[in-house]
Structure 1
Amino acid sequence: MTQVLPPKPPARPDRVSLWRYVKLFRQDILSAQPARLYRAWMAEFRTPFFRSFLVNQPDLVNVLLKERPDDFPKSDRIAEGLKPLLGNSVFLTNGEVWKRQRRIIDPAFEGGRLRDTYPAMRAAAEAAVERLAGREGVVEIEEETSHAAADVIFRTLFSIPIEHEVASEVFSRFRDYQRSQPILNLAAFVPLPAWMPRFFRKGTRENAERIRALITRLTEERMAAIKAGTAPDDLATKIMTTRDPETGDRFGTEEMVDQVAIFFLAGHETSASALAWALYLMALYPEWQDKVAAEAAALEDESFAAVSRLRVSRDVFRETLRLYPPVPMMVREASCPEHFRNRDVPKGAQMVLSPWHLHRHERLWDNPDGFDPARWQTENGKQCQRDAYIPFSAGSRVCTGAGFAMVEGPLILSMILKAYRVEAVAGNEPVPVAHLTVRSKNGIWLQLSERS
Structure 2
Amino acid sequence: MDEFGRCPVPPKPQPRADKVSLLGYLRLFRRDILSAQPGRLYRAWMAEFRTPFFRSYMCNDPKLVDLVLKGRPDDFPKSNRIRAGLEPLLGNSVFVTNGEVWKRQRRIIDPAFEGGRLRDTFPAMAAAARAAVARMGEGEVEVEEQMSHAAADVIFRTLFSIPIEHEVAARVFQEFRRYQRTQPILNLAAFLPLPRWFPRFHRRSTLQSAQVIRRLITDLTEARAAEIAAGTAPDDLATKIMTTPDPLTGETFTPAEMVDQVAIFFLAGHETSASALAWALYLCAMCPDVQEKVAEEADLLGDAPDFAAVGRLKYTRDVFREALRLYPPVPMMVRETTKDEDFRGRPVAPGAQVVLSPWHLQRHERLWDLPDAFCPHRWQTAAGRISAREAFLPFSAGPRVCTGAGFAMIEGVLLLAMLVRSYRFSRIKGQDPVPQAQLTVRAKDGIRLRVTRR
Deviates more, 1:333-342 or 1:58-67: 333-342
Equivalent in 168, 171, 189 of residue 169 of structure 1: 171
Residue in structure 1 matched with residue 247 of structure 2 by the alignment: 245
Contact 1:274 1:326 in 2 (8 A): yes
Residue 344 (structure 1) shift: 1.2
Match of 1:45 in 2: 49
Partner of 1:181: 183
**Corresponding residue for residue 421 of structure 1:** 424
Paired residues of 2:188 and 2:200 also in contact (CA < 8 A): no
1:273 corresponding residue in structure 2: 275
Distance in 2 of aligned mates of 1:115 and 1:427:
42
Aligned to 1:303: 306
1:258 aligned to 257, 260, 272, which one? 260
Map of 2:370 onto structure 1:
367
1:380/1:185 CA distance change after superposition, 3 Å? farther
Q: Distance in 2 between matches of 1:187 and 1:277?
A: 31
SS of residue paired to 2:424: strand
Measure the CA separation in 1 of the matches of 2:198 and 2:204.
18
Asked whether the 8 Å contact 1:393–1:399 carries over to 2, the reply is yes
1:213 corresponds to: 215
Q: Distance in 2 between matches of 1:185 and 1:276?
A: 27
Q: Does 1:72 align with 2:64?
A: no
Looking at structure 2, the residues matched to 411 and 186 of structure 1 have their Cα atoms a distance apart, in angstroms, of 40
1:187 CA drift (Å): 2.9
1:419 & 1:72 partners in 2: Cα distance?
Answer: 46
2:103 to 90, 99, 102: 99
| Paired amino acid for 1:158 | F
In 1, Cα distance between equivalents of 2:187 and 2:428: 32
1:177 CA drift (Å): 1.0
Q: Is contact 1:182-1:434 (8 Å) kept?
A: no
Q: 3-state DSSP class of the match of 1:14?
A: coil
Mean CA deviation greater in 342-351 or 391-400: 342-351
Q: Is the 8 A contact 1:42 1:56 kept in 2?
A: yes
2:29–2:186 CA contact under 8 A, matched in 1: no
Q: CA deviation at 1:76?
A: 1.2
Structure 1 vs Structure 2: percent identity of aligned residues?
70
The match for 1:334 is 337
Aligned to 2:230: 228
AA aligned to 1:27 is R
Give the equivalent residue in structure 1 for 2:379: 376
- Worse-superposed segment, 219-228 or 12-21: 12-21
Q: 1:83 aligns with which of 79, 84, 87?
A: 87
**Contact kept? 2:188, 2:201, Cα under 8 Å:** no
How does 1:370-409 map onto structure 2 within 5 Å?
370-409=373-412
Q: Is the 8 A contact 1:180 1:435 kept in 2?
A: no
Which of 284, 287, 296 pairs up with 2:286? 284
| 2:126 is the alignment partner of 1:122 | yes
Deviation digits for residues 64-123 of structure 1 (CA, Å, limit 9, x no counterpart):
000100000001111100010000000000000000000000000000011100000000
Distance 1:340 1:55 in 2: 9
CA contact (8 A) 1:136 1:448 kept: yes
1:354 corresponds to: 357
User: Counterparts of 2:418 and 2:187 in 1: how far apart (Å)?
Assistant: 36
Secondary structure of the residue that 2:48 maps to in structure 1? strand
Q: Is the 8 A contact 2:7 2:374 kept in 1?
A: no
- Find the residue that maps to 1:203 and give its secondary structure: helix
2:149 equivalent among 147, 150, 155: 147
Provide the rounded CA distance (Å) in 1 between the counterparts of 2:410 and 2:6: 33
User: Given the alignment, which residue of 127, 131, 135 partners 1:131?
Assistant: 135
2:203 to 191, 194, 201: 201
Task: Report the counterpart of residue 110 of structure 1 in structure 2.
Answer: 114
CA distance in 2, matches of 1:315, 1:186: 39
**Which SS does the other structure have where 2:311 is aligned?**
helix
Amino acid at match of 1:444: I
Between the aligned partners of 1:293 and 1:333, the Cα distance in structure 2 is: 45
* Cα displacement (A) at 1:30: 0.6
Tell me whether 1:450 sits opposite 2:448 in the alignment.
no
The amino acid across from 1:118 in the alignment is: F
Task: Note the C-alpha offset of 1:186.
Answer: 5.0
* Deviation for aligned residue 1:18: 1.4
Query: Could you tell me how far apart the structure 1 residues matched to 2:42 and 2:263 are?
Result: 33
TM-score under structure 1 length normalisation: 0.97
Residue of structure 2 equivalent to 1:293: 295
Distance 1:386 1:54 in 2: 19
Deviating 4+ runs (over 6 angstroms): none
Select the residue among 12, 16, 28 that pairs with 1:12.
16
Aligned 8 A contact 1:149 1:267 in 2: yes
Alignment-mate amino acid for residue 313 of structure 1: T
In 2, Cα distance between equivalents of 1:306 and 1:213:
39
What is the CA–CA distance in structure 2 between the aligned matches of 1:289 and 1:3, rounded to whole Å? 14
User: 2: distance between equivalents of 1:382 and 1:265?
Assistant: 30
* Letter aligned with residue 234 of structure 2: P
User: Is residue 140–residue 450 contact of structure 2 (8 Å, CA) maintained in 1?
Assistant: yes
Residue in 2 aligned with 1:320? 323
Partner of 2:158: 156
CA distance in 2, matches of 1:393, 1:182: 22
Q: What is the match of residue 60 of structure 1?
A: 64
Secondary structure of 1:268's aligned partner? helix
DSSP 3-state at the match of 1:7: coil
Is 1:432 matched up with 2:435?
A: yes
Residue among 35, 38, 59 paired with 2:39: 35
- For structure 1, list consecutive stretches of 5 or more residues without a partner in the other structure: none
